[in-house]
Each structure stands twice: as C-alpha cells, then as structure tokens.
Chain A
Amino acid sequence: MRKTLISKAVAAAFLLGLGAPIAPLTAPTAEAANTQGMATSFKVEVLNGIHALGTSVVRAGTTPDSFKAALYLASATTGPGNTVYTATGEVSGTNYVAGGVDLTGSPDWIAPTSTGTTAFSTPSNSIVFTTVTLATAFDAVMIYNSTQGNKAVSVHTFGSQTVTAGTFTLTMPTNDATTGLIRIA
C-alpha cells in the first residue's frame, strides 16, 4: 500500500513539473537521542528521602535518621518481606540487648551518591557486638531505621556462626556501585 502511494506521489510530482523526485519514505534512523530511564539523581534522592510519591512522614529536621542492626538465628525466616524490626527469630544471649546495636558514624551511612546509573550507600562503620555469647547459630543481620518506627532497610546473610564471650564484627563491603550495601541501579 505504502509503495503504491509513493509511486503515485512521484508520478504526480513529475506531472506537476516539479522535476526532482520525492525522496522515498524511510524509517527513522538510529540517531534518535531520547533515552528512557529513571533519573540517576532521583535514585540518590530516594536514598536521601527527598521524594515522597506516597504519604510520607513529618520530619523534625534535615538530619539523617538513626539506624540499628539486629542479629537473627539461622532457624529464623527474616528477609525482605519484613517491614519493620521484629524480635521473632532474633538471637539472645549474654550481653546481647534485644533490638541489637546502633550503627555508629556521623551520619550512620556514607552519603548516598552514584556512579554511572547506580546509586549506592553503605554504613559508615563496622557493626560490632562486643563481649557477647550467642550460643545458638545465627546467620543474618537486619538493618532498620530506629528514627522511623524501626522500619526495615535490609537483611544480609552470612555463614552460620556462634560467639562465646567474644566479639562479633560485621565489616561493610566497599562502598561503590558494585558492592555498596544498598544499591539502586
């Protein structure tokens, strides 16, 4: 159908004395410059709490929130489905306080940034449980926001461990677009 129309248009042009043939219709070239995608800046700003696509919270200021880390038994089912900190399946033992420990740092997380199209952030310091006994095997840590109603941030697993009168240290990965603890790509 299109070929027929083009032929008729070319013929009409000659009949009208226009001379030069009409260029055939072609598909757009691959030079189109628009690119679909989520703004990288938006990804960083989500980590910074700038955007509220739904109902948000009233903040007392612009300071970063505070976060905590709790440990979970290897027998527990803690994971991304948990919306807030839970004591269910949490470890217990000498010198371990329910709810875990505060993340340390000022602020608790390295300022969110991006490389390429990936936004990322990682806690500023290692998470340390000092002089504890955790006799039942555990293999996960939940990081949660103690400023915002203990809302869960993430759950990270590792090889099953126990601790006896010792220190459990969780050192963070390199904070970059490939290994940062929280990444939005």
Chain B
Amino acid sequence: MINVQLEADGPITQMDEADLVKSKGSIDNDNEATTWVEYRLASDPNAARAVHRSVHVTLKKQPGVFASGVAASFN
C-alpha cells in the first residue's frame, strides 16, 4: 500500500501499488545525491501532479558551512 493524496489539501489515504504508476528520478552533484519516487494514478499516468512523491537527499560537502579559525598576527 502506498500513501497518496488524491487532491491537493485532501486527506492522505492509501492505495494498492497495482493501481498506480511508479517513476523515479535522481540528481547527483557536488552538493547532494538525491533520489525521488513518484506515483500517479494508473488511470491518469500523465497527470502533472503525482499523488505520491517521496524524496531522499544525501548531503555531500557543504561549502558554505565552514568556519576558518584565524589567530591574529601581531606583526
């Protein structure tokens, strides 16, 4: 069973995976490795809105979160 939200702002319910069409995607760059899975109704597989979308982001090196400790020089 897959959690779905058939309408925006509607309740989250569950549907049998057999009634859904699954698609996956991913991106991989210096900042992150991300995968996502989407489900659409089998009766409307080309719908713009997925009824389920889960995302998994794995952070890599975060260049902006780096403090450089400096001790002042007297000369």
Residues of A that sit less than 8 Å from B by CB: 36-38, 42-43, 80, 94-95, 131, 133, 135, 154, 156-159, 161-173, 178-179, 181-185
- Docked Cα-Cα span, A146 to B31, in Å, equals 27
A5 CB to closest chain B CB, in angstroms?
A: 25
A36 CB to closest chain B CB, in angstroms?
A: 6
Are A183 and B67 neighbours in the complex by a CB distance under 8 Å?
yes
- Docked Cα-Cα span, A131 to B32, in Å, equals 22
Q: Given contacts A36-B73, A133-B12, A172-B59, are A162 and B67 in contact (CB under 8 A)?
A: no
Residues of B that sit less than 8 Å from A by CB: 3-5, 8-9, 12, 27, 31-32, 34, 36-38, 49-62, 64-71, 73
Closest residue of B by beta carbon distance from A131: B3
A159 / chain B contacts, CB cutoff of 8 Å: 27, 31-32, 34, 57
Q: Given contacts A164-B50, A166-B3, A181-B59, are A38 and B12 in contact (CB under 8 A)?
A: no
Are B65 and A185 neighbours in the complex by a CB distance under 8 Å?
no
A123 CB to closest chain B CB, in angstroms?
A: 10
- Docked Cα-Cα span, A43 to B69, in Å, equals 8
A67 CB to closest chain B CB, in angstroms?
A: 14
A11 CB to closest chain B CB, in angstroms?
A: 35
Q: List 23 A-B contacts (CB under 8 A).
A: A36-B71, A42-B69, A94-B5, A133-B5, A154-B65, A157-B31, A159-B57, A163-B53, A164-B4, A164-B50, A168-B55, A169-B54, A169-B55, A170-B57, A173-B58, A173-B59, A173-B62, A179-B62, A182-B67, A183-B65, A184-B67, A185-B66, A185-B68
- Docked Cα-Cα span, A184 to B34, in Å, equals 26
Are A80 and B71 neighbours in the complex by a CB distance under 8 Å?
no
Are A37 and B71 neighbours in the complex by a CB distance under 8 Å?
yes
A37 / chain B contacts, CB cutoff of 8 Å: 69, 71
Given contacts A161-B55, A165-B51, 17 further A-B contacts (CB under 8 A): A38-B70, A133-B12, A157-B31, A157-B64, A159-B32, A159-B34, A162-B53, A163-B55, A164-B49, A164-B53, A165-B52, A167-B54, A168-B55, A168-B57, A171-B57, A173-B59, A183-B66
A161 / chain B contacts, CB cutoff of 8 Å: 34, 36, 55, 57
Closest residue of B by beta carbon distance from A172: B59
Are A156 and B69 neighbours in the complex by a CB distance under 8 Å?
no
List of 3 A-B pairs having minimum Cβ-Cβ separation, nearest first: A166-B54, A38-B69, A165-B5
Are B53 and A181 neighbours in the complex by a CB distance under 8 Å?
no
